[in-house]
Chain A
Amino acid sequence: MLANLSIHFPVLQVVVPLMAAPACLLLRQRGLAWGFAVLAMLVAFAISVALLYQVIAGGAISYALGGWEAPWGIEYRVDLLNAPLLMLVSGISAIALLAARTSIENEIPADRHTMFYIAWLLCTAGLLGILSTGDAFNVFVFLEISSLSAYTLIALGKDRRALWASYQYLIAGTIGATFILIGIGLMYVMTGTLNMADLAQRLPEVSSSRTVFTAFAFFMVGVCLKLALFPLHLWLPNAYAFAPSVVTAFLAATATKVAVYVLLRFVFSVFGYEFSFSHLPLQEILLVLGLLGIFAASIVAIYQTNLKRLLAYSSVAQIGYLILGISFANETGVMATLLHMLNHGLMKGALFLSLAAVVYRLGIAQLDQMHGLASRMPWTMAAFLIGGLSLIGVPLTVGFVSKWYLVSAALENGWWPVAALILIGSLLSVIYIWKIIEVAYFKPVSATTPDVQEAPLGLLLPMWMLVLANLYFGINTELTVGVSQLAAASLFGGAP
């Protein structure tokens, strides 16, 4: 039975959380719903691990939904590029969901917990669907599933500003999605197909047409709105700052990564390296925006006193690094981007979960209330410390590995100044992380610090799972680096 099922893993990966969501509504009891959701996510995670090994062993898997072959039906396609991301998304979602039960106790009214878990499952399923699909329009549909549920999750935040943040995200996200829809429509006009592999074959014939150029432009702007690239990032800080803490951990670790994946997929697989980088000044645009993003966001982050907001700006900066890797337009650069997507997911997950613990005890993650917090919540702050070191890029953490490859990709192009700028950017992150560490570890406990205990195990365990993953993948880089290398090679090797 299991062997039989294994050929259906690409679709089960998405369908398990998707169908678990309405099933949760039937359970009508928040504890049960939580247990069921966790179970579904663990199954999804197991499937994603199995898929990754299937892909490593046997190459890309194509799955024809409804039994209709590719350009007529919708195809699911799992390859080296998306398999590790499937694992990241389902893994982080499962771990954050484990923490959710404890964390949302104080943040969300009890009667909304079931809705919260349902929206969570839907959001995960949407993200997984975007990753695995091989059909351009299907990307749009699942993008909307994940976005709509993300708006809901964010709006459930305690502060009223969560509502406003969610509304702004809704407007920005819908404009982005509509732009993507226009882009897909224009691609379809010129090729008559919606399947990505088919598009990749048929686009080169018409690549000199103005319509394809416009399609590319609209698609890119739409995706960049979704992934919060520097000048289009305005929705992100508020959304992350006011969302329930676990939601921030989940979205920061996964949602923007998935958008970066869509960018990579379309730039390299669908439009092709040739079109994206030879016909268009994409390289220069991405380079400038990436660098601007890193510096502007890091500098703003330094001045923040709300830690969730601080890390949100840091996320915008990290997206700059991801885009920078793409802008190098060489194999090492793309590999660094892929690696950093995984690694950044792990470290932001860990960081935001430790903040969730802080919020759980303190009610808010404000810098001036954290004097000497490390003595009160040693495990939580230790997790934060390791996550922070990883964010800076200290050796033996995942952050170091991806920074290393990013710098070497810059050097490969002979771009010394860019490599230097990356290092300076890391220094900026040292500043804002140090600011927190200093307060939590070296300031004496003051009157403003509430008298609190260590966070409960329900939060500590998931948090430390991610922290250990940060360390493990920082030391044993075989899997992540190996897969990223292969995936980057496949992107440059031609068809997906």
Chain B
Amino acid sequence: MSEFGLFNYWVVMLLMMIGFYIVIAQGNLVKKLIGLTLFQTSVFIMYISLGKIEGATAPILIEGVTLYSNPLPHVLILTAIVVGIATTALGLALVVRIKESYGTVEEDEIHAKDESC
């Protein structure tokens, strides 16, 4: 898999930046959160790519295999995924409440409503 070189990482960076772009450029609150999950998932992909060793197998030990991929990034990302879903859930709960009290989930409309009162 050495044909990949660093190219693999570059694609992952591109993914991260697409997610980041959605978060900062889009005005819809739900869309922002979708972007946030995209951003985070891409960071997870980066971590997991770091743990891969060419020709290795999953770090569940069996007889007759000596080369395993690095389990540590997997552990870190398991934790990070949980953190990610926790953030998403809380963010969406906030969006629901914002919709109920402002009547909209668009950033500029919320700003307009805040300024008017």
Q: A residues engaging B (CB < 8 A)?
A: 137, 140-141, 144, 148, 151-152, 155, 160-161, 163-164, 166-167, 170-171, 174-175, 177-178, 181-182, 185, 188-189, 194
Residue from B23, B80, B91, B98 in contact with A175 in the complex, judged by beta carbons closer than 8 Å:
B23
B110 within 8 A of A: yes
Once bound together, how far apart are the Cα atoms of A127 and B8, in whole Å? 36
Once bound together, how far apart are the Cα atoms of A400 and B72, in whole Å? 48
Given A148-B87, A160-B102, A167-B29, decide whether A185 and B94 contact each other with a Cβ distance below 8 A.
no
Once bound together, how far apart are the Cα atoms of A452 and B73, in whole Å? 59
Q: Are A141's CB and B97's CB within 8 A?
A: no
Q: Are A185's CB and B47's CB within 8 A?
A: yes
Once bound together, how far apart are the Cα atoms of A201 and B47, in whole Å? 22
- Which residue of B has the minimal Cβ distance to A161? B114
Q: Are B97's CB and A163's CB within 8 A?
A: yes
Main secondary structure of the interface of B (DSSP, over half): helix
Q: Are B46's CB and A152's CB within 8 A?
A: no
Given A151-B90, A181-B43, decide whether A171 and B32 contact each other with a Cβ distance below 8 A.
yes
Q: Chain B nearest CB: distance from A168 CB in Å?
A: 9
* Residues of chain B in range 27-52 having any CB-CB distance to chain A below 8 Å: 29, 32, 36, 39-40, 43, 46-47, 50
Q: Are A155's CB and B87's CB within 8 A?
A: no
Q: Which residues of A have CB within 8 Å of B83?
A: 140-141, 144, 177
Q: Which residues of A have CB within 8 Å of B87?
A: 144, 148, 170, 174
Q: Are A167's CB and B23's CB within 8 A?
A: no
Residue from B50, B72, B73, B98 in contact with A167 in the complex, judged by beta carbons closer than 8 Å:
B98
* Residues of chain B in range 65-116 having any CB-CB distance to chain A below 8 Å: 72-73, 76, 79-80, 83, 86-87, 90-91, 94-95, 97-98, 101-102, 110, 114
Q: Chain B nearest CB: distance from A324 CB in Å?
A: 28
Q: Are A163's CB and B98's CB within 8 A?
A: yes
- Which residue of B has the minimal Cβ distance to A147? B87
Q: Are A170's CB and B91's CB within 8 A?
A: yes
Q: Which residues of A have CB within 8 Å of B114?
A: 161, 164
Given A160-B101, A163-B98, decide whether A185 and B50 contact each other with a Cβ distance below 8 A.
yes
Q: Number of B interface residues at 8 Å Cβ cutoff, please give it.
A: 31
Q: Are A167's CB and B94's CB within 8 A?
A: yes
Once bound together, how far apart are the Cα atoms of A140 and B47, in whole Å? 14
Once bound together, how far apart are the Cα atoms of A438 and B5, in whole Å? 67
Q: Which residues of B have CB within 8 Å of A182?
A: 16, 43, 46
Q: Chain A nearest CB: distance from B115 CB in Å?
A: 11
Given A148-B86, A171-B32, A185-B46, decide whether A155 and B39 contact each other with a Cβ distance below 8 A.
no
Residue from A164, A175, A189 in contact with B102 in the complex, judged by beta carbons closer than 8 Å:
A164
> Given A167-B29, A170-B91, 7 more contacts at CB 8 Å?
A144-B86, A148-B86, A155-B94, A160-B98, A163-B101, A164-B110, A189-B50
Q: Are B46's CB and A166's CB within 8 A?
A: no
Q: Which of B40, B43, B47, B94 has the most CB of A within 10 A?
A: B94
Once bound together, how far apart are the Cα atoms of A140 and B82, in whole Å? 12
Q: Chain A nearest CB: distance from B109 CB in Å?
A: 11
Q: List 13 A-B contacts (CB under 8 A).
A: A137-B76, A141-B79, A151-B90, A160-B98, A161-B114, A164-B102, A167-B91, A170-B91, A174-B87, A175-B20, A178-B43, A182-B16, A182-B43
Q: Chain B nearest CB: distance from A120 CB in Å?
A: 16
Residue from A144, A164, A171, A188 in contact with B50 in the complex, judged by beta carbons closer than 8 Å:
A188
Q: Which 10 A-B pairs rank lowest in CB-CB distance, beginning with the nearest?
A: A160-B101, A167-B94, A144-B83, A163-B97, A163-B98, A170-B91, A174-B87, A185-B47, A137-B76, A189-B50
Q: Which residues of A have CB within 8 Å of B36?
A: 171, 174-175
Q: Chain A nearest CB: distance from B19 CB in Å?
A: 9
Residue from B20, B39, B47, B90 in contact with A148 in the complex, judged by beta carbons closer than 8 Å:
B90
Once bound together, how far apart are the Cα atoms of A269 and B101, in whole Å? 46
The 0/1 profile, CB within 8 Å of A marked 1, for residues 50-70 of chain B is: 100000000000000000000
Q: Which residues of A have CB within 8 Å of B97?
A: 155, 163
Q: Which residues of A have CB within 8 Å of B90?
A: 148, 151-152, 170
Once bound together, how far apart are the Cα atoms of A194 and B76, in whole Å? 10
Once bound together, how far apart are the Cα atoms of A82 and B64, in whole Å? 48
Once bound together, how far apart are the Cα atoms of A178 and B80, in whole Å? 10
- Which residue of A has the minimal Cβ distance to B44? A181
Q: Chain B nearest CB: distance from A430 CB in Å?
A: 31
Given A174-B36, A185-B43, A185-B46, decide whether A151 and B79 contact each other with a Cβ distance below 8 A.
no
Once bound together, how far apart are the Cα atoms of A140 and B73, in whole Å? 14
